[in-house]
Structure 1
Amino acid sequence: MKTKCDFKAGDRIRLLSMDDPDPIPAGTIGTVVAVYPQSDWTQVDVNWEGDRSLMLSIPPDQVQRIDASPQNQSGE
């Protein structure tokens, strides 16, 4: 299982799934604020759209990096 997390502050990400009692909805876009590597997992601090911030635990949470260019965010 891949546990390495190569995100950095400023990366734009899309949530695929979150293991949390009150999760951010899948598909929500966010910006990485900080990354805190642990021994076999990584904690990622994210500011999510909708003014909510909730840290990720990777694994088990799953996200994908997205292109931050304006033309790709508008869907054109």
Structure 2
Amino acid sequence: MIPNEAKLQQLKKQYPEGTRIRLLHMNDPHAVPQGTLGTVYDIDDTGSLLVHWDNGQGLNVLYGIDRVERVSGNLEKEGVNEISHQMNTIWNYSQSILQESTELKAMIEQLYDAKEGRALNGKTRTELLETVAQTQARLREIAQKLGG
């Protein structure tokens, strides 16, 4: 069943871009799980809602077959709170990386000075090799944290 132009316009008013929805039913063997939240980003000519599902799935809501409900209020506030929490986590992580990079920079500068024959600050060859090993280990740790 394809909606007429008047029904399409009604759907576009009812579900404008950015509308948050919850899936009630989807008739598909690979259906998005019932209760999943998503954001409408468009409506096609067949009346299907094009949705960015929060779980990453990409199925459309088919007009006249699948069912959704609009969500608002507390769920939107919870979404903002979740985003705020994620931003705080990212901020804390970036501060940690910044601190590590500052320490690493000091270690690398010390190694460079030694390579260039500048003051070794009383360090022996063995101590410099330990600093090289520590620097390499820290670089590996940071690369691992960053997914490298």
Report the identity percentage. 32
In the TM superposition, what is the alpha-carbon distance from 1:50 to its structure 2 partner? 1.5
In structure 1, what residue type is equivalent to 2:66? D
Instruction: Say if 2:73 is the partner of 1:70.
Output: no
Higher strand share: 1
If you compute each CA radius of gyration, which structure gives the higher value, 1 or 2?
2
Change (3 A) 1:51 1:71: closer
TM-score (norm 1): 0.76
In structure 1, what residue type is equivalent to 2:40? V
Q: Which runs of 5+ in 1 are unaligned?
A: none
Higher helix share: 2
1:9 is aligned, of 14, 17, 27, to: 17
Change (3 A) 1:18 1:11: same
**Relative CO higher for 1 or 2, CA cutoff 8 Å, sep ≥ 6?**
1
1:33 is aligned, of 30, 41, 51, to: 41
In structure 2, what residue type is equivalent to 1:48? W
Q: CA RMSD in A?
A: 2.3
